[in-house]
Amino acid sequence: MSPPEIVEPLPMPGGDAPVFAEPWQAQAFAMVVALHERGLFSWGEWAETLSAELKKPDAAQDGSDYYVHWLRALEVLITKKGVAGQPDVDAVAAAWQRAAHATPHGKPILLENDPVHGRE
């Protein structure tokens, strides 16, 4: 007798979802396309980096976190290319979150709205 096989079900076979579930996914997608076109990396390099992220054991079986890995791969690659390190991205992301908090509802969120802006 062979051991029972664990078969992961396919998420929504044949299902149709919007191309991007949230706007940030679209932006993350487009930044990679733009940087590749600018020649910052080859598509082979990108596929390899993305693959390494997607193969991490915490990747969701239903593929719902695909763009989380996509974004992570982008950060890995720009760090490797010396464009910006993790701390730089963390700092600017925190500034964006402070700016969001300081922006009244209904107004566009601008980085200038960060109360710490310009004082660092």
Partner 1 sequence: MSHDHDHHHHDNELDPMAARVRALETILTQKGLIDPAAIDVIVETYETKVGPRNGAKVVAKAWSDPDFAGWLQRDATEAIASLGFTGRQGEHMQAVFNTADTHNLVVCTLCSCYPWTVLGLPPVWYKAPPYRSRAVIDPRGVLAEFGLALPEETKIRVWDSTAELRYLVVPMRPKDTEALDEEALATLVTRDSMIGTGLALEPGAR
Residue 46 and residue 26 in contact, taking contact as beta carbons nearer than 8 Å: no
Does position 61 bind partner 1 by CB under 8 A? yes
Show Cβ contacts of residue 37 under 8 Å, excluding neighbours closer than 6 positions.
Answer: none
| Nearest CA among 65, 75, 2, 81 for reference residue 32 | 75
Q: Is residue 3 close enough to count as binding partner 1 by CB under 8 A?
A: no
Per CB under 8 A, 111 contacts partner 1: yes
Among positions 1, 2, 3, 7, the unique one binding partner 1 when judged by CB under 8 A: 7
Residues 11-50 that bind partner 1 (CB under 8 A): 11-17, 19-20, 22-24, 26-31, 33-35, 37-38, 40, 42-44, 46-48, 50
Contact call for residue 112 and partner 1 (CB under 8 A) = no
- Ramachandran sector of residue 14 (left: φ over 0; alpha: ψ -120 to 50; beta: rest): left
CA–CA gap between residue 26 and residue 9 (Å, rounded): 27
Instruction: Tell me how far CA of residue 91 lies from CA of 4, 28, 37, 96, 97, in angstroms.
Output: 49, 18, 27, 9, 10
Q: What residues between 63 and 102 interact with partner 1 by CB under 8 A?
A: 63-64, 66-68, 71, 74-75, 78, 83-84, 88-97, 100-102
Question: Is position 109 an interface residue for partner 1 (rule: CB under 8 A)?
Answer: yes
Among 10, 80, 115, 116, binds partner 1 (CB under 8 A): 10
116 near partner 1 (CB under 8 A): no
